[in-house]
Amino acid sequence: MARPVALLVSLVLTLLAAASAHAQTYPARPVKIIVPFAVGGPADIYARFLGAKLQDALGQPFVVENRPGAGAVVGSDAVAKSAPDGYTLLMMSNTHTVNETLIPKKPYELMRDLAPINGVNYSDLLMVVHPSVPASNLKEFLALAKAKPKELNYASSGPGTPYHMAGELFKAMAGVDIVHVPYKGSDGARTGILGGQVHMMIDAITTMAPNVSAGKLKALGTTGKSRSTVLPDVPTVSEAGVPGYEAGIWLGLMAPVATPKPILERLNAEVGRIIQAPEVKENWMKQGAAPMSMTLEQFDKFLRDEIVKWAKVVKVSGAKVD
């Protein structure tokens, strides 16, 4: 019995040494970051930022590839089915934790087929309406929506996205019936609200605040617990008329399951170092984003907790995939 045990121990030590050596030489070629959302949204913007910084740090290109479709399922499934070697990564968001309940019949399961790397950042959302909507504040909008059930609508970048869930949660908590208009991506949804094809949208403050500042849209409220430093004169939705309302968007990185842990640890450390740099924190704060760095274990727990949290929200809101 001693000889087989010794051989097994030797094999395990050899594999661990090989994985460690592989991690030290990683990356030896370009790395792909798949963004399962359209160009121009927060996931795309911050994936490109991280890609450039990781390229500087690790000496290989980190190329961003947008693969939107089916509420982020298309791009995410592509990563889940990729080789677990650290050369294909996923930029994900709370869309993914929502989809575990909202879209149960997916070709992958988040925590079964993908491995956590690190969080990226968190942002509050901003509720806006087109200037043609006869409401200057949230209370006026609520009165209008209650007087005209099913006549007002709101845009989102697709089923399960933070913008969709924020809208459904708002409807449930405010007691209004507003029609959901899902677009194929956030760029289309923004074009819709800016062009007046839809009445309302709840979008990331990082991308929507400039349109409010330019007078292209009217802000009704931000979705955090407290007012945003980006638009301090805009009240929260909670204080403006829907007590207790809160929503947001966060981003993170994952890799195919079975990616060697030393590679995951190296990526975790590099991402953490990048997003906690003082100049990055300062710049993101001006945009309304906060760094969200964690250990591998902390991010794993965070994702599992989010899946449970959003399962409850999906049930309460009655949200469905059309």
The pLDDT, as a whole number, for residue 189 is 93
pTM of this structure: 0.85
The pLDDT, as a whole number, for residue 226 is 94
Q: What are phi and psi of 114, to 5 degrees?
A: -130, 150
- pLDDT tens-digit map of 263-285: 999 999 999 999 999 999 999 99
What are the sequence ranges of the domains in the chain?
30-122+249-317, 124-240
**Cα 311 to Cα 94, 101, 135, 222, 317, distances in angstroms:** 12, 6, 33, 23, 10
Q: Which CATH number is 124-240 given? A: 3.40.190.10
Full pLDDT tens readout for the chain, 322 residues: 556 555 565 555 555 555 555 567 999 999 999 999 989 889 999 999 999 999 999 999 999 999 998 889 999 999 999 999 999 999 999 999 999 999 989 999 999 999 999 999 999 999 999 999 999 999 999 999 999 999 999 999 888 889 999 999 999 999 999 999 999 888 899 999 999 999 999 999 988 999 999 999 999 999 999 999 999 999 999 999 999 999 999 999 999 999 999 999 999 999 999 999 999 999 999 999 999 999 999 999 999 999 998 898 888 777 777 6
Cα torsion 50, 51, 57, 58: sign: positive
Q: Which are the contacts of 295, defined by CB distance < 8 A and separation ≥ 6?
A: 268
Cα 291 to Cα 251: distance, rounded to the nearest angstrom: 10
CATH fold group of domain 30-122+249-317: D-Maltodextrin-Binding Protein; domain 2 (3.40.190)
The pLDDT, as a whole number, for residue 312 is 87
Residue 253, sorted as left (phi over 0), alpha (psi -120 to 50) or beta, turns out to be beta
The pLDDT, as a whole number, for residue 2 is 57
Cα 169 to Cα 163: distance, rounded to the nearest angstrom: 10
Q: Judge if 30-122+249-317 and 124-240 fold alike in CATH terms.
A: yes
Write the single-letter amino acid at 216. Answer: K
The pLDDT, as a whole number, for residue 91 is 98
The pLDDT, as a whole number, for residue 44 is 95
Cα 223 to Cα 230: distance, rounded to the nearest angstrom: 13
Neighbours of 225 (CB within 10 A): 12
